[in-house]
Structure 1
Amino acid sequence: MARQLTQLADHLSQLPADQVPQLLGRVLDPDDGVLGRFTGLLVAGSVFAKDCAERGALPAELWLALGRAANELNDICLDLDEHTDSLTTLGTSSVAKPAVASPLVVRRHR
């Protein structure tokens, strides 16, 4: 999987600019994308680590760290979810909209 992610990153860097948003949109999709699936993997790992920690086979800190990582990734998925439609539709619209400058510093909202 790690090798495939490296290949995907290499592929992404070589794509024409109009194809990058669609690929990113698919990768970042919270349900079917790589980020959402990786988050699910951490959730499953956290459940496993909790069971092991309760038996004393793993330190509780590991379970807590996995849980925090899963929660943080889930929050990131939620933050990005509201923008994946913009990515997947960028470059597919037949009528070009004029570019509108926007500030690059934006407050996060949840």
Structure 2
Amino acid sequence: MTHPTVNPVLLADEITRQLDRLTEHLAQLPPAETTFVIAHILDPDEGVLGGITSLMIAGSRFAQTQAEHGHLPAEVWLALGRAANELNDIGLDLDEHRATLHHISHQPTTTAAKPPAPAPFVVRRHR
């Protein structure tokens, strides 16, 4: 069975709309669900961040070929390559926290008598 031809610009626009919808949903989800979704987004193989990184890698490879043939300035290829590398590094940095987010999202929600203490970097002083 053949797949219908998809207009890549329309596809990119639809993905952007879907990302906007996901962002809106994240703001409204309960905390456990939000941490689960964020952990899924960070999945290097099937998550959004991994998908965007792969897309940037493909763009960089295309730009490299075009730059080698003189159709694009080398700066374009270098910028796309740098973006792909940085996204990959960000994904690696965040991957170590994905398991924690996933674990927290599966914890039973109980009402504690004493609320958890805020992390030191979010404590604010009252004047």
Q: How far apart are residue 101 of structure 1 and its match?
A: 5.1
Segments of structure 1 that go 5 or more residues without pairing to the other structure are: 106-110
Matches within 5 A, 1:22-101: 22-94=36-108, 99=116
- Compare relative contact order (CA 8 Å, sep 6+) and give the higher one, 1 or 2: 1
Number of residue equivalences: 105
Normalised to the residue count of structure 1, the TM-score between the two structures is: 0.86
Aligned to 1:104: 121
| TM-score for both structures, normalised by structure 2 | 0.75
Over the matched positions of the two proteins, sequence identity in percent amounts to 53
**Deviation of residue 94 (structure 1)?**
3.9
Indicate the RMSD between aligned Cα atoms, in angstroms: 2.1
- 5+ residue gaps, structure 2: 1-14, 123-127
Q: Residue in 1 aligned with 2:4?
A: none
